[in-house]
Structure 1
Amino acid sequence: MRPRRVALVTGAAVVVAAAVTAVVLSRTSSPETGDARPPRPVRVTPPPVSAAFDYQIGGPYPPAPGVRVVSRDRSAAPLAGRYTICYVNAFQAQPDELAWWRRAHPDLLLRKLDGALVIDRDWNEALLDVSTPARRAAAAAIVGTWIDDCAHRGFQAVEPDNLDSYERSGGRLTPDDNAAFAALLARRAHADGLAIAQKNTAGLLSRRRSIGFDLAVTEECGRYDECDRYASAYPGRVFDIEYRRRDLTAACRDRAGRPSVVLRDREVSPPGTPGHRFATC
């Protein structure tokens, strides 16, 4: 299992189309009649192409000079003057939020035949059940409010994590299930004026357009020799995090697709804490 973030404190990373600003339609309705109003255009703002970026999901801090794109948890504030991505754990339940999920939406937690929760053991996170259209719609309504909040507070993009949860589901979820759920989140993000990132999951690159992804946030594409695949799909819009210096070197060597690469410690800790690391190409 590849490291994604600190288990209880999360962040975001995302990058969008470089040359143009996409125009999407917002959700509006008439308070008097309830009828749909004419669509109102909402602009999805692209990040700077191949800009230096920092992955701050373990806690926010002032970025190094030259950093123009920052990824932060949805609980943190966006950074003024920087393109800031909002991290949302969209496909799994944070450990400190599991009690709320159990109480409020127990039917949206993926379960085994004996009723036990399906758990991502690396992060002690329960998987969400997005196996049916009804469950996907219900889960998207919840995660959608988090995406709305990211937009309201001034983030420019959103990164829904754990797109690859089907790989840990024991066959209870499929790539089709997760792609369909991601498409719901993409529509919500675009209606809010946010770009949306594909998080890892190279196996879904061929579906990026049908889902609606605008960029990629990857972890260890240098280590796993996947950077070229993402760069071909999202040229100039790949933001990669490496956790070993030799993998940083490998990712930086492949500059054909102009990925933005950062070296971070596995705890993605702020400066001044033990183990903090930060380096770029």
Structure 2
Amino acid sequence: MIHRVGSRLALGALALAVVFASGCSARPAPEADAVVLPPAGAAPDYQLGGAYEPDPDVGIVARDRTSEPAVGRYSVCYVNGFQTQPGERGSWPDDLVLTRDGSDVIDPDWPDEALLDTSTAERRASIADVVGPWIEGCAESGFDAVEFDNLDSYTRSGGAMTLEDNVALATTLVRTAHAHGLAAGQKNAAEATARLHSDAGFDFAVVEECAAYDECGAYADVYGPHVIAIEYTDALPRPFAELCEAPDAPASLVLRDRDLTVPGDPEHVFELCG
């Protein structure tokens, strides 16, 4: 992880509805008839650090699963599906957390997040049993979509887990999201975008610092205009206005402060293109 209300919007209100046929061979068929993708090119805000009234120009808002969705905006529910959330390690059974030499394997960039162990089908099923009700809760709260963070946790596992392990869990989580009428957003993991879309069934992407890491094209090649991008003030490769003008800049792009603070905080930054 680089980081981390209203009623459900009608299918026609935000344009593109994606209907999945049960006979598709590449991607798992959801139980729901259709999900709604984020409106292409709509301005986003990323509010994981705390919910607040969005700017009038904002059409897409991402908030933590413990928050309410933003009234009148396409709302994305953040779920940490592959690592423990800060302060929540104690709620996870020890056998579902990856360990090495008797200690939890920790995300080196986030010392309060332990990696969940996706290495066996049994453990993946147990993880899905925990995360599933969170997804259902997102739908019941009125969110339109859910993003699953830390899809790339296998890269921090020292070889204990593989991309295949995380794709298998992601497939289950995406199917659950679709069954509850939620679109499913891939979070980061640019190197596996094609696989996560075709095999796990992700519908769109939520990406952090794709300009800083020169990854925006990897997402756009798969999801087209349905890429929600966040850049951070402390790692801009060039001025934000220049990023906005770049040929490969995602149409839905926002500049935020790293801690995703709320308005009134001295560190708060929120800026849109144009």
The two structures share one fold, judged by TM-score above 0.5: yes
**1:82–1:255 distance in 2 versus 1, CA, 3 Å:** farther
- Are positions 1:239 and 2:228 aligned together? yes
Equivalent position to 2:251, from 248, 253, 259: 259
Native 8 Å contact 1:222 1:247 kept in 2: no
**1:57-103: CA deviations, max 9, x gaps?**
000001111100000000000111000000001100123111121xx
- Are positions 1:108 and 2:96 aligned together? yes
CA distance in 1, matches of 2:114, 2:179: 28
CA distance in 2, matches of 1:135, 1:190: 22
Residue 170 of structure 2: aligned partner:
182
Residue 196 of structure 1: aligned partner:
184
Residue 46 of structure 1: aligned partner:
37
* 1:253 Cα offset (Å): 2.6
Code of the aligned partner of 1:57: L
Equivalent position to 1:172, from 156, 160, 163: 160
- Are positions 1:273 and 2:262 aligned together? no
Code of the aligned partner of 1:276: H
Q: After TM superposition, what 4+ stretches of structure 1 lie above 2 angstroms from structure 2?
A: 17-25, 39-43, 244-251, 253-259
Runs of at least 5 residues in structure 1 that lack an aligned partner in the other structure: 6-16, 26-38
Runs of at least 5 residues in structure 2 that lack an aligned partner in the other structure: 5-13, 23-29
Native 8 Å contact 1:232 1:257 kept in 2: no
Native 8 Å contact 2:185 2:205 kept in 1: yes
TM-score (norm 1): 0.84
Number of equivalent positions? 252
Identity across matched positions, percent: 51
**1:102-142: CA deviations, max 9, x gaps?**
xxx21100011x22110113212110001011111110111
Residue 93 of structure 1: aligned partner:
84
* 1:255 Cα offset (Å): 4.2
**1:178–1:197 distance in 2 versus 1, CA, 3 Å:** same
TM-score (norm 2): 0.86
Code of the aligned partner of 1:174: T
- Are positions 1:19 and 2:16 aligned together? yes
Q: Secondary structure at the match of 2:17?
A: coil
Native 8 Å contact 1:151 1:194 kept in 2: yes
Native 8 Å contact 1:223 1:250 kept in 2: no
